[in-house]
Every structure is written in structure tokens, then in C-alpha cells.
Amino acid sequence: MSKAISDAKHVFTTCDCYDADLIGVLHLNDEGVIEAANTYVRKLLGMAGEQPCGRRWQDLCRPEEYHAVCDWWRQLLQEGKATMLEVCLQRTGKAPCPVLVSGRRNGPGRVMLLVLDISRQRAREAEVLERERRQRNLLIREIHHRIKNNLQGIVGLLQNQLLEHPELASLLETPIRQINSIALTYGLRSCQEDDKIYLCDLVRVAARACDRTHPIPLTLDVPRYCNIVVNDNDAVAIALVLNELLFNAAKHGHTPTPQISLHLRRSGEKAVVTVRNRCQGSRLTADLNRPETLGTGLQLVQGLLPKDGSAQLRLFQQDDEVIAELRLRPPVVKLVTSAKQPPPPAPTAG
């Protein structure tokens, strides 16, 4: 009995030695059950007026860290000491707190852990990373803006050639339209502060690019689904695909007054872009499974679509309408969640 009393006094005396608010100390048994904690730890856990005795220290950590903590604890018991561990301790009424933990055996059946709060350090690191992210995004937007200007300069040169040599119209109109579509896409990227390309904006860009070279009556049904983002590496390709589908609809609309509509809908994690075109009196001859039936535009579309099946195109006829349906799913698009307000519609890239 006297030995137990002596051990208990030693535990609490040791804790008192660390009550200078510099570092936390936990005394545990071999099962990881807390026997004593100093003021630093109790304040950290949000229980300054009571002891966390009787609880397993592993249970103070977040559930997703439990297995890593148990592995570290086994190493400590086997070797008498362990490498430093970074975990987040759960707290009463507060967010989890990142801490560094080190430990060693402190006599038979006893373990002492030292706990250091690193939340301020992590907050400073997060501020630095956020500042670097903003600087990086600003630089990227400036680069995209310059690319857009250079591409539009090329478009201007080609248009001058077209004015001087109208006989080259069949050769120049397609590259003018395609380069303009790419330029508008880069213009869109230069306007987004969060460095994301939203599908709703990209669809509007494709429509605007087509309208610049082939003005046609176009009905837009494109809600602002600001949580559908296009993969950065696929944005230009998808813009060109949409532009080609719209141009193909305008080119092959066999009615005195073309009626083309462009729709965007979301279904679960998928997005569906639909181009409808009135073609009264004619039948659809293009078959995506037979390359010999496709014109150069649809051949380009097939070549631009990702090969992993994340973008699938259907082309079919329904009564007097030809319908092109582009289904997009991850990874070419993804749904994102953000606490920020949706960005405003991207301005027209001039």
C-alpha cells in the first residue's frame, strides 16, 4: 500500500513539474489509460477543472488516426521510446487541435507522454500556403490572359487574310473558329479567381465562339451549376468539342430558319450537354460507329474526346430533330463543394 501511495505521489509531483504552460504531460499505464495529466493538457482538452483519468489516450485522437496511433503505441511499449507523432486531439466544444507527441517508459508498467500544441504553427503555415496559392493563381491568370491575347491576334491576322482573299474562305473559316474558341477558353481561365473552369461558363464560351463566326438563332438553357468543374487538362478539348457540335448543327440545319438549342443538365455526378437542331425533311446519315460517314468536324470531335470513357457522345434523330448528346462524368468533370459564393458569370473575353 505504501508503495502505491509513493508511486501516486511521484506521478502527480512529476505532472506539477510541467505546469509551467510550456508543454503537456500525460502519465499512462501499459494499457494506455491516463492516470494523470498536467494543467497544459487539461486546458488543451477543454477540461481545465477535471482530470481525464481513466480514459485511454488513444481515444482522445480522431477516429481516422486511431490505427496509426495504436501502431505508434505498440512501438513505444516494445522499444521503450518512439519517434515523434503528430495527431489531432479531440476537444470539448472546440475543433481538434494538432499536437506533437513523444513518449518513453517511466518505470515498470508506466509511460510518460509529452504533448506540444502546434496549432499556431500550423495556422501560420496555412496562411503562408494560402498567400502562395493566391500569388500563383494571379500569375496563372496573367499567363492565360496573354495567351488569349496572342491567340486573338492570330485570329485577327487570319481574318485579314480572309478579307483580302475571299476565295480562301473554305480553308480559313474553320481554323478561325477553332482558334477563337481556344482564345475564349483562355480568357475564361484568366477571369476565374479560384482557378477553376466551370462547365456552365465553358458551354457559354463555346456558344459565343460559334456565334462570332456563324451567327444563328440559338436558344440557351444553361443554369449556373457552379459546382460542376471541368478538368483543367480537358477544358480546351471540351470547348472545341462543343463548338464543333454547334457548328455542325448550324451547318446541317436544313430549314429556312434554323432552330438550334443548347441545354445543360446535371444528373448525379454526371453532366449532360445537349444540342438540338431542326432538320425537317432530311435524315441523319452520320454514324459515330462508322468513320466513313463522318465529316471532318465530327471526326475531330471523336479525336478530342478523352479515351477513358469519361466523355461519351450520342448522335441520333428524334422526329424532325437531330440531337447530339454529350455525357460527361469524372474525371473529365467533378462536383466540388465550397463555402464561397458562386462566382459571377465570366465576362465576355474581348
Q: DSSP string covering 254-315, please?
A: -SSS--EEEEEEEETTEEEEEEEEE-TT------TT-GGG--HHHHHHHHHS-TTSSEEEEE
- Predicted confidence (pLDDT) per residue in 246-274, tens digit: 888 877 665 566 678 999 999 888 999 99
**CA–centroid distance for 176 within its chain:** 32
Give the CA angle between residues 214, 217, 220 to the nearest 5°: 105
Strand partners, 324: 275, 315
Architecture of domain 2-117 in this structure: 2-Layer Sandwich (3.30)
For the CA atoms of 144, 149, 155, 158, the dihedral, rounded to the nearest 10 degrees, stands at -130
For the CA atoms of 169, 297, 256, 159, the dihedral, rounded to the nearest 10 degrees, stands at -30
State the Cα–Cα distance between residues 180 and 206, nearest whole angstrom. Answer: 9
Handedness of CA 315, 318, 321, 325 (dihedral sign): negative
Q: Please confirm whether the linkage preceding 331 is cis (ω < 30° from 0).
A: yes
E strand intervals along 30-79: 34-37
- 260-267/218-221 β-pairing: parallel
Stretch 191-200: mean pLDDT: 81
262 contacts 207 by C-beta, under 8 angstroms? yes
Helix, coil or strand: residue 164 = helix
State the Cα–Cα distance between residues 311 and 232, nearest whole angstrom. Answer: 15
State the Cα–Cα distance between residues 225 and 335, nearest whole angstrom. Answer: 9
Query: What's the pTM value of the predicted model, to 2 decimals?
Result: 0.63
In this predicted structure, what is the pLDDT of residue 311?
A: 92
Q: Where are the domains of the chain?
A: 2-117, 123-335
- Predicted confidence (pLDDT) per residue in 277-333, tens digit: 887 556 666 666 666 667 777 788 888 888 898 999 888 888 778 889 999 999 999
State the Cα–Cα distance between residues 48 and 289, nearest whole angstrom. Answer: 71
State the Cα–Cα distance between residues 80 and 110, nearest whole angstrom. Answer: 10
Q: How confident is the model at residue 72 (pLDDT cuts 50, 70, 90)?
A: very high
| Radius of gyration of the CA atoms of the chain, in A | 32
Give the CA angle between residues 315, 319, 321 to the nearest 5°: 50
Tell me which CATH code domain 123-335 carries: 3.30.565.10
Q: How confident is the model at residue 347 (pLDDT cuts 50, 70, 90)?
A: very low
In this predicted structure, what is the pLDDT of residue 287?
A: 61
Report the mean per-residue pLDDT for the chain: 82
- Predicted confidence (pLDDT) per residue in 22-42, tens digit: 899 999 998 999 999 998 998
In this predicted structure, what is the pLDDT of residue 19?
A: 54
User: In terms of C-beta distances under 8 Å and separation of at least 24 residues, what long-range contacts does 166-171 make, across chains too?
Assistant: none
